[in-house]
């Protein structure tokens, strides 16, 4: 059958993991996938992920690609891999792609959703994958502020201090805040993201929603290009990578 490049779409509950990226001695999503696929193929197989999600962050549509030389038919691959994975990680789809496809560099945009529960008591059935922040937040004010982030900007103020990438300019194509009963959903789509960018944006929007700042504060924060100008970081468990477009 020869060498094949396989694109995997993966879903996982990341709360109990130290993030996507393999780290010796730590429980990671990439580590579990590589162990399962290497066991299946009989060869050490690197899983190249599109997004290195942080510790505690989940995914509904993470994408990765693997290069394998195995006779296993593509239609049987997902079942064979899933049989070897823990219950909180699942490969949704496996498709053969062109040899030049790279899950990271070929990506055009990524969509993240952050979930906040504002009820007085914890929602125990969904608590693992949301931020329980009791108290009212002004959803309309948060959405107005979010819209100011749409476009091409320098997002240095929303990047972790440890992020040393060459440029902090990113293009956000969508930033919406929606409310449903006691739930608040923040959806952010961009060409690329900086380290902790979404969680720092959410933390800032919450400060606006609780009345500490006006929506116009967003412009001031962007112009500052200084992490200390923005709000606190939101917890990781509320964040989910929804999809990646190519």
What is the bridge-based pairing of β-strands 109-117 and 131-132?
A: parallel
Contact (Cβ atoms closer than 8 angstroms) between residue 54 and residue 19: yes
Backbone angles phi and psi of 244, in degrees to 5? -130, 130
- Residue 122: CB atoms within 10 Å: 12
- Residue 218: CB atoms within 10 Å: 25
- Catalytic sites, residue numbers: 54
Contact (Cβ atoms closer than 8 angstroms) between residue 206 and residue 142: yes
What's the Cα-to-Cα distance from 239 to each of 29, 131, 152, 198, 242, rounded to whole Å? Answer: 15, 9, 23, 8, 9
Query: 101-115 burial by CB neighbour count: b if 16+ within 10 A, else e?
Result: bebeebbebbbbbbb
């Amino acid at each position: 059958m020869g060498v094949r490049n396989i694109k995997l779409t993966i879903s996982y509950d990341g709360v109990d993991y130290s993030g996507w990226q393999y780290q010796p001695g730590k429980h990671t999503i990439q580590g579990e996938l590589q162990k399962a696929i290497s066991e299946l193929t009989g060869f050490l197989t690197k899983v190249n992920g599109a997004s290195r999600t942080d510790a505690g962050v989940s995914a509904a549509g993470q994408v990765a690609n693997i290069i394998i030389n195995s006779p296993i038919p593509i239609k049987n691959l997902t079942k064979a891999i899933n049989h070897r994975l823990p219950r909180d990680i699942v490969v949704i789809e496996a498709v053969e792609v062109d040899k030049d496809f790279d899950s990271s560099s070929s990506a055009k945009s990524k969509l993240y959703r952050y979930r906040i529960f504002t009820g007085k008591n914890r929602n125990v059935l969904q608590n693992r994958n949301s931020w329980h922040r009791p108290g009212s937040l002004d959803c309309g004010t948060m959405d107005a502020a979010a819209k100011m982030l749409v476009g091409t900007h320098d997002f240095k103020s929303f990047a972790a201090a440890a992020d040393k990438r060459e440029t902090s300019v990113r293009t956000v194509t969508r930033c919406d805040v929606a409310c449903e009963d006691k739930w608040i959903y923040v959806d952010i789509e961009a060409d690329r993201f900086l380290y902790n960018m979404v969680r720092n944006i959410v933390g800032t929007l919450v400060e606006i929603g609780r009345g500490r700042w006006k929506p116009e504060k967003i412009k001031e924060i962007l112009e500052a290009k200084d992490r200390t100008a923005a709000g606190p970081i939101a917890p990781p468990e509320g964040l989910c990578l929804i999809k990646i477009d190519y």
